[in-house]
Structure 1
Amino acid sequence: MELVENGGKKHHEIQEEKVMATSMTLNDYINIQIPSSENNELINHKQKRFLDFLKAHPSKEWFQKLGFIGRLSPFTFLRRSTSVSQPRPSVLTTEERRRRFRVPFVRKIDWPALIKYCKNWAKHPSNIAMLVWLSFVAVGIIILGLLMLGLLNGALSKSERTRWTEILNQVLNALFTIMCLYQHPRLFHHLVLLYNWRSSDIAELRKLYCKTPFRRPNERAHITFVVILLHITCISQYALCALYWGFTSKTRPDWAENLFIGVGIAAPVIAFLYTTYSPLGKKYESETDEENSEPAVNMVKLGSKRVVITNPEWIGGLYDIRDDMTVTYLSFFCTVCVFGWNMERLGFGNMYVHIVTFILLLLAPFLVFTVAALNINNEGIKYTVEIIGILLCFLGLLYGGFWRSQMRKKFKLPKSLFCSGNATMGDFMQWLFCWSCSLAQEVRTGNFYDVEDDSFCMKEEESARPELAPLPREAVVSPVMEMKKDGGGLDVLPVSVGGSSVGKDEALRPPLQPLIDMEVVVQPSKN
């Protein structure tokens, strides 16, 4: 019985396995993948693409989305370490693999290009003056930082540290005040341009505050905001200067000093960031027909019969003051006003900005450094500060030399190579030691020519007049003669020019050359 039961159970289990086998579908089986060479190549390809992504350089489109391409484009010494167009080798050595594991966004600096860029930047006279100013400011800030951090406690006593801290504060205050005084006339001029908002004013403001010279939304409001921030910077420096001059180190309120210092630092930083990341710092394409009007203007200018002087000359020598005594007297007694007027008519900016800036360069250093010296207790330092102020006033004449150099380069005037063969240094020396003679020569040159399209042209009345113009009484008669048959002979009659004929007064008629040289053969008439 047990055998039968066991046999029946086995038979029943076998039947159930057959039924289950017939009822299972394809999805009930376990999917077992056997690795092959194609799968390995696919996995390696995916890994390679992932590693290439990690080592990839950021594309130009990615930088354009973040807004970095336009701001880094002037600096050519920043470039990618490898070129994207270079093919990548399939097999890499161990050293190359080590070099390829680097930070993706690190850029290599082209040191020769960087050095060349710095040399060209330092050659500009205004940049040289900026470097000198920055060097004095940097030295003062470093020494002041050492005193405030207590690193000079062992070398100086407490009273000496307090005195030297006040001296450095006064000197730094004078340096920053002078810089604000030099820049403030231009900022006032920019406010005037914003108020007028004419086409020429808009073009000038776009060159200074916009990345591209094209129209952008609400550009007037954006530029006004930046200009106001720069004015706040200058005003905060003036208020800080009043604190240093009106109070001593003990009576000076710390909260007011810290407030004006903070505002003076924050305002220019905000202005820089706003100019960079606002619509002013973005590239805009031309959406209007503003540029289409320029060819028409150029065609009109080409149609004008003006003679451009390709090789102009200085009118008179440097010491030829007798050529125009009026200009000589005005250049000596009204140097600043004549200089500003001459700069504006030559196309170098606003007259009033030049006048105010020149006056500040000549007077502000003496006033600022003298007042700062009054608040210094050390006699040696006091006299040194006063002497520096006087020297800076004397060096203010270099402002005229700078613009003389710009005039020479713009209009291609002859160079003066008497100062070690350096033309720019020669312009500076001429203004430094004989400013009235240099200014008179510049004015005489500007009077002799007309300025058009950044070049010297011949005077309009001279270029319009023909070279061989007859006298008024000679323009009546023409040498062309007309032979008229009248009765028994031929009469020689002059042909009138311009509809006029010879008058009755024969004494005023000039001799006719054709009648003197030409033989006239008269044949008798047949009657």
Structure 2
Amino acid sequence: MTTEERDEVPRSVNSSNFRERIREIKWASLAKTSKQWLRNPLNMALFLWIFVVAVSGAILFMVMTGMLNSVLPKKSQRDVWFEVNNQILNALFTLMCLYQHPKRFYHLVLLCRWKGDDVTTLRKVYCEKGSCKPNEWCHMMVVVLLLHLNCFAQYALCGLNLGFRRSERPPVGVAICVSVAIAAPAAAGLYTILSPLGKEYDSPQGDEENQVQGVSNRKVSLERRYSFASRNESSPEWRGGVLDIWEDITVSYLSLLCTFCVFGWNMERIGFGNMYVHIATFVLFCLAPFFIFNLAAINIDNEMVREGLGYTGIVLCLFGLLYGGFWRIQMRKRFKLPSYDFCCGRPAVADCTLWLFCCWCSLAQEVRTANAYEIVEDKLCKRRENESNVDEEDGVMDPSCLPEKMDTRMASSSSLSQSKLKGDEALSPPSTPFIHREAT
């Protein structure tokens, strides 16, 4: 066998193996998984962001390498296309850093505080399987600082792009900012994988004791919370319709005048994260695109492109309301609230539509619903005062709904009966409120 024949044998084998691997891919299941992934509004926005970045980056690369010289023969045309795509990429990456930065600041605060619940929250984000790692505080701090460096480098790059025209822009400063903005998140990702944060370890005994203590503390807190809630609601309902603003006019006015603050407060109390992170993120979603895109349009000489970027910023600000729609979807799914099907039978689209066209009414409905129930272990429970009112009207009291009152009253009745036994040596019947009568 000659040398050429020997070289052709592995080529044929590799090509046949490659074809077999392509045939083994289940394209139907892959397409189904992709559709399910795109149904998530957050993933849809991320896909759109990636698509625009890829298109704009490809055009910028082709202009820089001269691949579009035949299409754009004049240097002035190439300069316009370069600056437009450069400003679009700058705006998109700056917006992404702005949206992520409140959460990164929150993680930095948790690291500085480093308490029981804070450690658990950080482990879920940065540790493999959320378990304890050796020297985890130091490793987490390195990752968080690298992510902050990414944001600040992008802000510096944004300042250079917005503050200087292309001819006056310092190339050394731009190169440094671009390098740091790209290298910092890449280094953070690699450090997370290669450091102890990305490896599995046997949990030490001290950590197990902390977990047991945390479970016991959660049990005590749950017992206290159950004293204010009666029982799980099997089929919870929204408190009033979307337009029933007169049901609680105070909530409606607060939702209208303090939308961001009320939204963040409501998200925190129902267990969807920190209030300040939600407020800052929501404000940035609704205001940042307008300023970023309008500032980016200043250094562009084409009037039509400038107007297009300005209108794009306004549209993105309006679509920032979908942040509230996304969390309404999470609220409905977690607490099994009824869905609206007026948008082609798709509840997620209906939730986003409600926030786009009636954000204040939707927020007021969510706040009223959270006020009407007590949340225990991601379940909606009837509040004790609501339950007791109903029972008193019917003349029937359920002891399981009033654990604290039952305990105190039963204790007082038992002590009273003991005193009567000592003094009169006679048994006294229990008082009538403690007899649970079955409904006939």
How would you bin the TM-score normalised by the shorter chain?
0.7 to 0.9
Distance across 1 between alignment mates of 2:265 and 2:192: 32
| 2: CA distance, partners of 1:260 / 1:436 | 40
Q: What is the alpha-carbon distance in structure 1 between the residues aligned to residue 261 and residue 237 of structure 2?
A: 24
Amino acid at match of 1:422: R
Q: Does 1:359 align with 2:276?
A: no
Identity %: 48
- What is the identity, as a one-letter code, of the residue corresponding to 2:149? I
Match of 1:307 among 221, 226, 231: 231
What are the superposed Cα offsets for residues 20-62 of structure 1, whole Å, 9 maximum, x if unpaired?
Answer: xxxxxxxxxxxxxxxxxxxxxxxxxxxxxxxxxxxxxxxxxxx
Q: Structure 1, residues 229-277: CA drift from partner, whole Å, max 9, x if none?
A: 1110110011011111111111111111111101111111111111111
Distance apart, 1:212 and its partner CA: 1.5
Tell me the SS of whatever aligns to 2:95: helix
1:357-384 CA-partner distances (Å, limit 9, x unpaired): 1111111000010111111100111111
Alpha-carbon distance, 1:188 to partner: 0.5
Q: Which residue of 2 aligns with 1:224?
A: 141
The aligned runs of 1:216-295 (5 Å cut-off) are 216-288=133-205, 289=208, 290-293=210-213
Kindly state the Cα deviation for residue 171 of structure 1 after the two structures are TM-superposed.
1.4
Separation in structure 1 between the aligned mates of residue 245 and residue 216 of structure 2, nearest angstrom: 43
| CA distance in 1: counterparts of 2:266 and 2:107, whole angstroms | 21
Please state how far the C-alpha of 1:345 moved relative to its aligned partner.
0.3
Q: Shift of the alpha carbon at 1:460?
A: 3.2
Aligned-partner residue type, residue 141 of structure 1? G
- 2:109 aligns with 192
Is the 1:340–1:354 Cα contact (8 Å) retained in structure 2? yes
Q: C-alpha distance in 1, partners of 2:429/2:342? A: 61
User: Is 1:348–2:264 an aligned residue pair?
Assistant: no
Quote the offset at 1:426 in angstroms.
0.4
Distance in 2 between residues matched to 1:435 and 1:102, nearest whole Å: 55
The separation in 2 between residues aligned to 1:201 and 1:296, in whole angstroms, is 17
Residue equivalent to 2:401: none
Q: Which has the higher contact order (CA 8 A, sep 6+)?
A: 2
Query: In structure 2, what residue type is equivalent to 1:126?
Result: L
Asked whether the equivalents of residues 264 and 276 of structure 2 are also in contact (C-alpha less than 8 Å), the reply is yes
What's the TM-score, normalizing by structure 1?
Answer: 0.67
Q: Give how far 1:213 is off.
A: 1.8
Aligned counterpart for 1:448 among listed residues 356, 372, 377: 372
How many Å apart are 1:111 and its aligned residue? 3.7
Aligned position for 1:323: 247
Measured after TM superposition, the shift of residue 462 of structure 1 is 4.2
Amino acid at match of 1:330: L
Q: Take 2:261 and 2:248, find their aligned partners in 1: how far apart are those partners?
A: 18
Q: What amino acid is aligned across from residue 57 of structure 2 in structure 1?
A: I
Query: Does the CA-based 8 Å contact 1:346-1:446 persist in structure 2?
Result: yes
Retained in 1: the 8 A contact 2:127–2:133? no
Letter in 1 for 2:58: I
Letter in 2 for 1:155: V
Equivalent residues of 1:411, 1:456 under 8 A apart = yes
Letter in 2 for 1:147: V
Shift of 1:318: 1.0
Cα distance change of structure 1 residues 154 and 102 upon mapping to structure 2, 3 Å threshold:
closer
Shift of 1:175: 1.0
Matched residue, 1:124: 40
Higher helix share: 2
Cα distance in 2, alignment partners of residues 346 and 208 from structure 1: 20
Q: Distance in 1 between matches of 2:428 and 2:163?
A: 91
Amino acid at match of 1:310: S
Equivalent of residue 203 in structure 1, options 120, 133, 136: 120
Query: Are 1:307 and 1:463, in contact at CA under 8 Å, matched by a contact in 2?
Result: no
Instruction: Give the corresponding residue for 2:328.
Output: 404
Distance 1:215 1:245 in 2: 44
CA offsets 1:260-296 (integer angstroms, 9 cap, x no match): 1011111111111111111111123332324444664
Residue 260 to residue 299, structure 1, CA distance change in 2 (3 Å):
closer
Range moving further from structure 2, 120-129 or 378-387: 120-129
Measure, in 2, the Cα distance between the counterparts of 1:244 and 1:446.
45
Structure 2 equivalent of residue 433 of structure 1: 357
Partner of 2:59: 143
Structure 1 residues 495 and 339, CA, compared in 2 at 3 Å: closer, same or farther? same
Q: Aligned AA for 2:37?
A: W
In structure 2, do the counterparts of structure 1 residues 179 and 115 end up closer, same or farther at CA, with 3 Å as the change threshold? same
User: The residue matched to 1:442 in structure 2 has which SS?
Assistant: helix
Tell me if structure 2 keeps the 8 A contact 1:212–1:284.
Answer: no
Equivalent pair of 1:404/1:427 in contact (CA under 8 Å): yes
Which of 72, 96, 120 is equivalent to 1:179? 96
- Within the alignment, does 1:391 sit opposite 2:315 as a pair? yes
1:458 match: secondary structure: strand
Gaps of 5+ in 2: 1-12, 398-408, 410-426, 432-440
Q: 1:200 to 1:495 in 2, by over 3 A?
A: closer
TM-score by length of 2: 0.80
- For residue 286 of structure 1, give the secondary structure of its aligned residue in structure 2: coil
1:92-131 equivalent positions in 2, closer than 5 A: 109-131=25-47
Say which one has the larger Rg: 1
